[in-house]
Amino acid sequence: MDESLAVAADRNAEPGTAALSGLKFSKGHGTGNDFVLIADPTGALSVTPGQVAALCDRHRGIGGDGLIRAVPSRLLPEGQELLARHPEAEWFMDYRNGDGSLSEMCGNGVRVFVHFLIAEGLVDLPAGKSLTIGTRGGVKTIVRTAAGYAVDMGPWEFIFPGEAIARAMDSLVSAAGLEVARPALSVSMGNPHTVVALAEPAELEATQLFTAPHVDPAPPHGTNVEFVVPSEPLVHDGMGTITMRVHERGVGETQSCGTGACAAAVAIRHWAGQGAPDAWNVHVPGGVVSVKFFLGPEGHEHVELSGPAVIVASGTLS
């Protein structure tokens, strides 16, 4: 349910946010992964990293894991490059982490972004129809479903393929609450992830994600880290089930991570070996998302992520 909000920024504590006075925004989430959303159809809005961090501050701002700006692809250099190959990608998801840093994209954020475009009247997307958008992780095609949105996240790949294939691991991850470093696999979903399998729910609960886990070696641009417990049994009626927590780059622990859920399913399926299913339910603190593997048009395996999207509030900065 939408409700009107007026958020007064603390001008002394967060210098620079006064320039955003009068800015219209919405707040949305996908399985608890929450975002500040701004429509910028003319491309005139410039938001600094400090302003993003102030808006995403949970005590003195609106609060969110990140900020999403909806801007026409033609008005961004990154979007113009995509339009040359995908002229249907009219809208670009300009995504920033909660600390203001740029990110390639966000799987939960894609669903919320499209839901926001519909709510703002910027696109018309009936159930069963698809929409293609641009992100810094490439174009994404989204289908509106009865229960939310299904996103073709594109192909996955191992970040260190030689090690992943030869040893089924490519790095060691240390985190508070775990006594020893654990082996991990690093997976790219357009953004980097490092996945650790844990033996039981008690280990997952004991893992402390207040600070970033240490990954050695880390992917070149840093990484999001997922800690995953396979269900027992792993597969029921052809569906795999896992439970996950995640520490996201530039954010900290979040209630959910869509690309992280995809990467976790990639890693667990790889470890499970031949006969592992192509359909997975991934339980996160904020709910459940589904992951499905399928053969893409160019012959590479793609990952589909599906789940809900909710707009919880809309308002104007004062």
Q: Could you tell me if 244 and 258 are in contact, meaning their C-beta atoms sit under 8 angstroms apart?
A: no
d(CA 125, CA 129): 6
The pair of three-digit structure tokens given for residue 188, joined into one six-digit string: 């790219």
Written as one string, the DSSP assignment of 2-69 is --EEEE---TTTSTTGGGGTT-EEEEEEETTEEEEEEE-TTS-----HHHHHHHH-TTTSS--SEEEE
| Burial grade of 234 (CB within 10 A; 0-12, 13-18, 19 or more) | middle
Least Cα distance to 30 among 225, 282, 303 occurs for: 282
Residues for the chain: how many in total? Answer: 318
* H or E segment to which residue 174 belongs: strand 171-174
SS3 at position 117: helix
The pair of three-digit structure tokens given for residue 281, joined into one six-digit string: 């339910």
Is there a catalytic annotation at residue 106? yes
CB neighbours of 161 closer than 8 A, spacing ≥ 6? Answer: none
The pair of three-digit structure tokens given for residue 211, joined into one six-digit string: 């600070």
Pick the catalytic residue from 76, 106, 112, 309.
Answer: 106
Pick the catalytic residue from 257, 264, 266, 291.
Answer: 257
Is there a catalytic annotation at residue 257? yes
State the catalytic residues: 106, 257
